[in-house]
Structure 1
Amino acid sequence: SSLNDMPLRSILQIITDFLQRDDPDELFAQPINLDVVEKYHEIIKQPMDFGTIRAKIHEGLYTNLEQFKLLHTFPHDQTNISFYFNDVQRDVFLMFSNAMNVNPATSKYHQVV
C-alpha cells in the first residue's frame, strides 16, 4: 500500500507523530493548564497543542493536503515522500508562536521551537 492509497486521517496522524518526536518533554502535548499560566488567554487568543491537533484530525476537521509541503525520506527504503497540507501547518505554527509569545526567550519552550 502506498502513501497515495492511505486515508487523509492516517497521513495526518503520521505527520503529527513525526512533528511531535521533537517534543520529548511533551511541552506541547496538551492544552495549557490555566491554573499554572496566569493571564494566558489575555496574551494568546487562539491556543493550540498537539492534543487539539490530534482531536481535529480524529474529527475530520482537516480536509486536504494542499499548499504546505514537507519532504521526508524514509530511512528503511530511501523513499522520498512529499506531504502537502495547510490547516495542520497553520495549527503547528500557531502552537509554536503561542509558546514563544508567552514564555521568555530563555525558557525551554524556545529551545524546542
Structure 2
Amino acid sequence: MNTGLFIATDEKSKPLKEVLRKYKPNQVFKPGEVATYSNYGISLAGYIIERIYGKPYYESVQENIFKPLRMRNSTFKQGSTLAPIVSKGYGIDGKERRPIHT
C-alpha cells in the first residue's frame, strides 16, 4: 500500500492506464443512486483526456490551461521541477507526507 501522497521522480510514475486497470474499485452503489467524489472517477476523466489529445494529462493541462493563463508555478506532473513552490502534503493523522522514493 502507498503511504505517501505523490512520487518523487517521474521515473517512478506508472502510466495512468496501468494504474486505472490495477486499482479499479468495487462498485458500491448503482449508477445515479448516490452523488459522491471519486478519485478513481477523476483519474478516469484524466485518462479520457489523454486518449483524446494523445499525450499525458499533465501536458494537455499545461498547454491548454496553465500556459494560456500564465500559471508558471502550476503543474500536474509528478516529481516535476516545473513548480518551484510546492505545498506540503499531510495525512489524516496530521503528519507531513513526503514523496515516495521506492
TM-score > 0.5 by shorter chain: no
TM-score (norm 1): 0.27
TM-score (norm 2): 0.28
Structure having the larger proportion of residues in strand: 1
